[in-house]
Chains A and B, each alone.
Chain A
Amino acid sequence: MPAAGAAGGKCRRHAYGAPVAERSPPADPAAAQRRAGQREARVASGLTELDRWLCDQVRQGLAASQRSGYRHWDDIAARMVDAQAPGLAERLRALAGVPYSGPDWDGRLLEEYALLRLLATACREQARLPPSLRDTVRSRVGFTVRQADVLASAAPVRDQWHVLARRDLDQDRIRTRRVWLRGRRAGRTALVLSFAALGQPLDDSLAVGTETDADLAFYPAAVPLRAVVATRRDTVPSGPPPGVTTAGLLAGYAAALGADPWLDTWPAVLEATPARAPLPCVYDSAGEAVPLHPRAGDCWPLFALSGGRPLTVAGEWTPRGLWPLTAWDEGGMVLGPVPL
């Protein structure tokens, strides 16, 4: 468990609202309630400030943003940290790279500003939201749910969980591991996160290409993806998971967006063949394609594995394209979880 507040006293949290360190239950319920009330008030004033800032950006024009450097976003992100809204802070910090992210950066920046204002608005109006959407909004703003509470309150879901893909991300001094699972029987997808300080090993217990009989407890959300392993039983090696078509992937993502418009990382398992033109992409048996994420690299190993033939490809679907993480060829060979 990494030290809380490793980054200069700022407690950084993942976009999914993952706590870096979870506090133990309060000793004094009255004091805890008072602190919670103070935090709500702080976040509320932070939301007002963010809303004003966002409108200022659009009033002055986003063209100015490209010249302003990453301090521009770091400053407002730091104010969101002060307002105890780390989820917002992290989203804002990530925006510094957008003006350098290639063609259509302006459109992507506008999308992010628009979704941030939507999040701020939704959080201010959270009393009017259905409970599951309220959970999603609060988690994205940065209110965390303790793992112990999830384990205590969520009904565990037992299945034979197939480990589809794994992705490690380094942020500041924290490494985050995202492991995507899919239940063989019910077909439900789950995301298990683990964290470590840089240089420390990450949890290796869920290996790509295996499946585990386990009970998962899902964090409350409009689209419940994040889960914690409550009970683990046997783990066995496993072949490729069943994949869907391009249309199936896009339909699944559209349905999920209907419940959570901020969802920008969605598990994908496709039966598809990689191609290089007009842009690097994968296409299904109907010839329908989705692009590979421009920042996923050249993906040569994926092409080399395919040789022009279909693969099963698991990865993360995002608005910019598919980030491939694992691939199986007809012989069942696994490629990944290293970057493809």
Chain B
Amino acid sequence: MSTWQDLVTASLIGTERAVVPAVGIPGPLPAEDDGGDPAAVLLDRAALLTAARRAGRRPDRAEPLPICEPDPRPVVSPAASRRLARMLGGEYPELLTEWLTAVTTRGLRPPPQSLPVLLDRARRVRSADPGLADLVAEAGGPRARWLAGLNPDWEFVAAPPPRALAGQDAWRLGSAAQRRRYLAWLLANDPDVARDLIRGGWDAAGPAERVMFLSVLADRLSPADEPLLEAAGGDRAENVRSRAVDLLASLPGSALGKRIAERALGFVRIEHGGRGPHVLITPPPAGQSQPSRARIVLEVVARTPLRTWTEEFGLTAAQIVAVPSGDWAPVLFTAWSRAAIAQRDHEWTAALIGHALTDRPPRTAGETEALRRLAYRADPVLGAPDALSEPQPEVPRAATITLRVLRFRYEMLKELDGDHDDG
């Protein structure tokens, strides 16, 4: 190849100053090179060598990669793979966590070629959403760890899986996600020890970890948590406080829940007038440095245990939501939506969505956002065909988007329960 390199060097310098090197190519050379113009001679020789080098190319040698251990879990169906590609392409990316959770709990795995994009995404959002990294590691299994061995960007999945760090080690040495996972496991298996661990660690923990403690507790709330939640209700950090108050509200029989309920019932009533029932709201007057009256109603109703209303009024959630409330309707809708999400109440969630789609579409930005959140948290069975009545043709976009999110979630989960690829 030195001959080719010689030609390249001569062409870089230019034939004004460089001599055209001779080339050694088997076969006949052009009889006489183009009138002796050295530049033309160089180009003709280069053309000959280019074709010869391309045609005479020899194979290289490669260093084979290790072979990835097999993953016995079947790959999801082609339809589910296509849906994943759509989500990774930007369609409802918020649903990725739900999809991956559903895939792993069904003993399936995502198509291997999707792992690089999933790993990149998990890495990008790692500080905001550490759970996604764990989920991708679990869903990706041996193939994800094999890839992490090739690309240091993904080494977060190459770390031993959380369960391999046994008990106390995971708690003492693990990442935030590992600590969370350990705590959740402990709470399910030995709740008293788990609660001791939380109480013992509370004062030393930062606000992010205190929120983590609360969200783990939220999955298995018990009356025993009330003292801790009461204390957290007076926390320095606002997000810890509001989370604790939400949990207290959804804890049946909690003292705070009762206090809030009493307060709420003091200004929300159902009156039975001549034109049927309607919600009557008489909020406490707003003081100078106090929040507005609407704000007070919103904050109180959003934290009122939802069963307060069904018990007090003797109506179902759907019936209560349908009672006219005049100008207060947007405030009540937003507040009840927040309560339904915080208290994980599916009956109320379904009632609110159904109301927004068929009776009274959202008008304010607050309502629209509340409806959007409901769509992501509702039981996906609401997305089944005929689960909700078709919205009126003139309903605003927010309502149709809600329906689309629900349909997407329903189909996404149904797909995973259907056929899948073997192999």
Chain A bound to chain B: yes
Q: Are B57 and A250 in contact (CB under 8 A)?
A: yes
Contacting A at CB under 8 A, from B11-47, are 11-18, 37-40, 42-44, 46-47
Closest CB in chain A relative to B417 CB, distance in Å: 21
Residue of chain A at shortest CB distance from B154: A300
Residue of chain B at shortest CB distance from A245: B59
Taking the complex as formed, is B113 at the interface, i.e. its CB lies under 8 A from any CB of chain A? yes
Taking the complex as formed, is A335 at the interface, i.e. its CB lies under 8 A from any CB of chain B? yes
Q: Which residues of B contact A51 (CB under 8 A)?
A: 40
Given the complex of chains A and B, what is the CA–CA distance between A111 and B67 in angstroms?
39
Q: Are B60 and A281 in contact (CB under 8 A)?
A: yes
Given the complex of chains A and B, what is the CA–CA distance between A302 and B68 in angstroms?
14
Given the complex of chains A and B, what is the CA–CA distance between A290 and B11 in angstroms?
28
Q: Which residues of A contact B57 (CB under 8 A)?
A: 250, 254
Stretch at the interface among B145-153, B265-273, B380-388: B145-153
Taking the complex as formed, is B51 at the interface, i.e. its CB lies under 8 A from any CB of chain A? yes
Given the complex of chains A and B, what is the CA–CA distance between A282 and B60 in angstroms?
10
Q: Which residues of A contact B46 (CB under 8 A)?
A: 110-111, 113-114
Q: Are B150 and A303 in contact (CB under 8 A)?
A: yes
Residue of chain A at shortest CB distance from B422: A331
Q: Which of B50, B56, B147 contacts A303 (CB 8 A)?
A: B147
Residue of chain B at shortest CB distance from A66: B12
Decide: A300 near B11, CB < 8 A? Known: A114-B44, A117-B47: no
Closest CB in chain B relative to A94 CB, distance in Å: 16
Closest CB in chain A relative to B196 CB, distance in Å: 43
- Chain B contact residues, majority secondary structure: helix
Given the complex of chains A and B, what is the CA–CA distance between A273 and B68 in angstroms?
13
Q: Which residues of A contact B40 (CB under 8 A)?
A: 51, 55, 117
Q: Which residues of B contact A258 (CB under 8 A)?
A: 55
Stretch at the interface among A35-43, A131-139, A169-177, A305-313: A305-313
Given the complex of chains A and B, what is the CA–CA distance between A58 and B42 in angstroms?
8
Taking the complex as formed, is B90 at the interface, i.e. its CB lies under 8 A from any CB of chain A? no
Given the complex of chains A and B, what is the CA–CA distance between A216 and B1 in angstroms?
41
Q: Which of B5, B39, B423 contacts A58 (CB 8 A)?
A: B39
Taking the complex as formed, is B4 at the interface, i.e. its CB lies under 8 A from any CB of chain A? yes
Given the complex of chains A and B, what is the CA–CA distance between A275 and B75 in angstroms?
24
Given the complex of chains A and B, what is the CA–CA distance between A54 and B42 in angstroms?
11
Given the complex of chains A and B, what is the CA–CA distance between A57 and B37 in angstroms?
13
Given the complex of chains A and B, what is the CA–CA distance between A253 and B14 in angstroms?
32
How many interface residues does B have (CB within 8 Å)?
Answer: 55
Q: Which residues of B contact A117 (CB under 8 A)?
A: 40, 43-44, 47
Q: Which residues of B contact A246 (CB under 8 A)?
A: 59
Decide: A110 near B7, CB < 8 A? Known: A61-B17, A300-B116: yes
Q: Are A289 and B39 in contact (CB under 8 A)?
A: no
Q: Are A309 and B67 in contact (CB under 8 A)?
A: yes
Decide: A61 near B62, CB < 8 A? Known: A258-B55, A308-B67: no
Given the complex of chains A and B, what is the CA–CA distance between A247 and B60 in angstroms?
10
Decide: A111 near B50, CB < 8 A? Known: A58-B14, A117-B44, A303-B147: yes
Closest CB in chain A relative to B371 CB, distance in Å: 34
Contacting A at CB under 8 A, from B68-97, are 68, 75
Q: Which residues of A contact B17 (CB under 8 A)?
A: 61
Decide: A106 near B43, CB < 8 A? Known: A275-B62, A281-B60, A303-B150: no
Q: Which of B60, B143, B146, B423 contacts A331 (CB 8 A)?
A: B423
Q: Which of A62, A276, A289 contacts B11 (CB 8 A)?
A: A62
Taking the complex as formed, is B421 at the interface, i.e. its CB lies under 8 A from any CB of chain A? yes
Contacting A at CB under 8 A, from B127-143, are 143
Residue of chain A at shortest CB distance from B66: A308
Decide: A61 near B16, CB < 8 A? Known: A290-B60, A301-B113, A308-B65: yes
Given the complex of chains A and B, what is the CA–CA distance between A279 and B59 in angstroms?
13
Taking the complex as formed, is B252 at the interface, i.e. its CB lies under 8 A from any CB of chain A? no
Taking the complex as formed, is B115 at the interface, i.e. its CB lies under 8 A from any CB of chain A? yes
Q: Which residues of B contact A289 (CB under 8 A)?
A: 59-62
Closest CB in chain A relative to B86 CB, distance in Å: 12
Q: Are B43 and A55 in contact (CB under 8 A)?
A: yes
Taking the complex as formed, is B394 at the interface, i.e. its CB lies under 8 A from any CB of chain A? no
Q: Are A275 and B14 in contact (CB under 8 A)?
A: no
Task: List 21 interface pairs A-B (beta carbons < 8 Å), by A numbering.
Answer: A55-B39, A55-B43, A59-B14, A61-B14, A61-B18, A62-B14, A107-B4, A107-B5, A110-B46, A118-B47, A254-B57, A276-B63, A276-B65, A279-B60, A282-B62, A304-B114, A304-B147, A308-B64, A308-B68, A308-B146, A333-B421
Known contacts A63-B12, A303-B147, then 7 further A-B pairs from the complex at CB < 8 Å, ordered by chain A residue: A281-B60, A290-B59, A307-B146, A308-B65, A308-B68, A331-B422, A333-B421
- A residues with a Cβ closer than 8 A to B are 51, 54-64, 106-107, 110-111, 113-115, 117-118, 246-247, 250, 253-254, 257-258, 261, 273-279, 281-283, 287-291, 300-305, 307-309, 319, 327, 329-331, 333, 335
